[in-house]
Amino acid sequence: MTTTDLLALLPFIILTVDLVVSMILVGVRRNHVLTFALTLTGLALAFLSALYPLAGARQVTSLLSMDAFASFYIALILAATFGVALLSYGYLQRREENREEYYLLLLTAAIGSSVLAASDHFVSFFLGLEILSVSLYALIAYLNTQPVRVEAGLKYLVLAAVSAAALLFGMALVYAELGTMSFNEIAAKISAGAAAGNPFLLAGFGLIVVGIGYKLALVPFHMWTPDVYQGAPAPVTAFVATVSKGSMFALLLRLFAHTGLQTERGVFVIFAAIAVASMLVGNLLALLQGNIKRILAYSSIAHLGYLLVAFLASGALGTLAATFYLVAYTITNLGAFGVVTLLSARERDAETLEDYRGLFWRHPWLTAFFSAALFSLAGIPLTAGFVGKFYLVLAGAGSALWWLVIILVVTSAIGLYYYLRVVVTLFQRPTISPAEILPAEASSPAGRLALVILAVLLLWLGVYPSPLLRLIQVAASSLYPGLG
């Protein structure tokens, strides 16, 4: 390892040092404010080092590719984690459990997610995934005095173990056939015809797709999603819905940009079937829900199906569309779960529709922002979600994936119904007495700051997306050099 390699790894080094220092301070003396401040400082410094890398694009050993694509996704991961930390402060302050270890787990999960975004090898892929997953087991069950949290953590643990087993077996089959675990070398051997008619290699990639499908909660690997979303603490649900899925999708884009396997007929058909099933099942089951967290859970399944349309479009335009949509999806979901977090009381999260009935008459500003977030998820103009869906349709049409584009448009129209159902509920007069309304804890300054930032980004990207598109173009040029 050279000095230049260490400079390229600066985001990981900063996060790790911050984690160790925080851990030592927690061992010496517990202080929620200090641990929170250290977490934010470490995330901010790591974000700056990712956004403005001192070493430039560099391959650090055969495991990590610290290029513009990795820098962009690491910056997105760290910014989203920063938002989750802001939302978490007031949420934890209202609870009696130990608070400081939560931030240690959050930093560890951010490290694992960042490793996934920069992975260029099966070993770093699996290590990053396990660092993320083990942290999430504990984060989901963190408030262990509530049985529903522990149940959600156990469900995620069992299904994550299944997905890890599928991934390992798939990696083993690929390695047995090709003799390498490097994405670049795998791509070179596939280009030379090693994949043609090789059942073991296709089975290996099939198992890898199964493992990735579990992590992204794509149909038919989605069964854990509504229960875990509902059972996890609200800010942790925000992290799972955004950072966890964003890092895995970044790895998916890199892996298949190298190999180009999604253009093979058999692989294309499998991904197309998963995309269609996710769009249909996610939206149709969301119609039946009366719980905000479960509505957003099924909504996220549908949105990952939308993302697969851009993924299947492949090429530079597909990567541009998928990355922009992922940014819009991250901002919007952080905002939606941020409202849930701020309204949650100590006893339970604000997750039933009744908790939101008449919210306009109690918290007009929260209602305005929550409505904007729901409109963005629905793809209404002047929001980031609308621009994101426009580019998804553009990418699909550019690759002549007309039937996938039609399904995307139709299922988005279905989704509009349940988003509007929640919006209408916000403006209705409460049907229960004030004493029965869940006490609203919307006074957290850190949480309000997070929502203000997210609101600005949500509308800014819906009106003026050009700066972000230029950044994404530079990032995508690492995978498609001709784009730059």
Each residue's pLDDT tens digit, 373-432: 999 999 999 999 999 999 999 999 888 889 999 999 999 999 999 999 999 999 887 765
Residue 392: half-sphere exposure toward Cβ, Cα within 13 Å: 31
Q: What pLDDT shows up at residue 72?
A: 93
Overall average pLDDT of the 179-191 stretch:
84
**257 or 465, greater pLDDT:** 465
Label residue 229 by pLDDT band (50, 70, 90): very high
| DSSP-based helix, strand, coil % in the chain, nearest 5 | 80, 0, 20
Neighbouring CB atoms inside 10 A of 352's CB total: 14
Decide: residue 62, CB within 10 A, 0-12 exposed, 13-18 middle, 19+ buried: middle
Tokens describing residue 366:
């929260």
**Residue 1 CB contacts under 8 Å (≥ 6 apart), including other chains:** 60, 61
Helix residue ranges, H only, 344-401: 359-362, 364-378, 384-398
Q: What pLDDT shows up at residue 265?
A: 76
Overall average pLDDT of the 29-57 stretch:
88
Nearest residue to 332 (alpha-carbon basis) of 312, 306, 364, 314: 306
Distance from chain centroid for Cα 393: 21
Q: Is residue 477 predicted with pLDDT exceeding 90? A: no
Q: How far apart (Å, rounded) are the C-alpha atoms in residues 238 and 228? A: 11
CB 186 within 8 A of CB 122: no
b/e string for 206-241 if b means 16 or more Cβ within 10 A? bbbbbbbbbbbbbbebbebbbbbbbbbbbbbbbbbb
* Overall pTM > 0.95: no
Q: How far apart (Å, rounded) are the C-alpha atoms in residues 276 and 262? A: 15
Q: Which helix (H) or strand (E) holds 64?
A: strand 64-66
Q: Is residue 218 predicted with pLDDT exceeding 70? A: yes
Overall average pLDDT of the 232-239 stretch:
92
Cα Rg for the chain, rounded, in angstroms?
A: 21
> pLDDT tens digits for 123-136?
999 999 999 999 99
Sign of CA pseudo-dihedral 101, 78, 391, 420: positive
> pLDDT tens digits for 283-305?
999 999 889 999 999 999 999 99
Q: What pLDDT shows up at residue 197?
A: 67
Report the length, in residues, of the chain.
Answer: 484
Overall average pLDDT of the 148-157 stretch:
89
Q: What pLDDT shows up at residue 113?
A: 94
Number of domains in the chain: 1
Q: Which helix (H) or strand (E) holds 66?
A: strand 64-66
Angle, helices 68-93/466-476, rounded to nearest 10 degrees: 120
CB 349 within 8 A of CB 441: no
Average pLDDT of every residue of the chain:
88
**Residue 307 CB contacts under 8 Å (≥ 6 apart), including other chains:** 249, 322, 325, 326, 329, 392
Helix residue ranges, H only, 29-146: 32-51, 68-93, 100-118, 122-140
CB 112 within 8 A of CB 160: no
Q: What pLDDT shows up at residue 432?
A: 59
User: What is the identity of the amino acid at 181?
Assistant: M
Overall average pLDDT of the 149-158 stretch:
90
Q: What pLDDT shows up at residue 392?
A: 93
Q: Is residue 185 predicted with pLDDT exceeding 80? A: yes
**pLDDT cut 90: percent of the chain above it:** 52
SS3 (DSSP) at 98: coil
Domain limits for position 90: 3-483
Tokens describing residue 202:
């296709």
SS3 (DSSP) at 237: helix
Q: Is residue 309 predicted with pLDDT exceeding 80? A: yes
Residue 357: half-sphere exposure toward Cβ, Cα within 13 Å: 14
Q: What pLDDT shows up at residue 196?
A: 63
CA torsion, ordered 247, 253, 259, 261, to nearest 10 deg = 110
> pLDDT tens digits for 47-94?
999 988 776 777 888 888 888 899 999 999 999 999 999 999 988 888
CB 306 within 8 A of CB 279: yes
Overall average pLDDT of the 164-187 stretch:
89
Q: How far is CA 87 from CA 440, 443, 463, in A?
A: 14, 11, 26
Q: What pLDDT shows up at residue 249?
A: 92
Residue 275: half-sphere exposure toward Cβ, Cα within 13 Å: 24
Q: What pLDDT shows up at residue 116?
A: 93
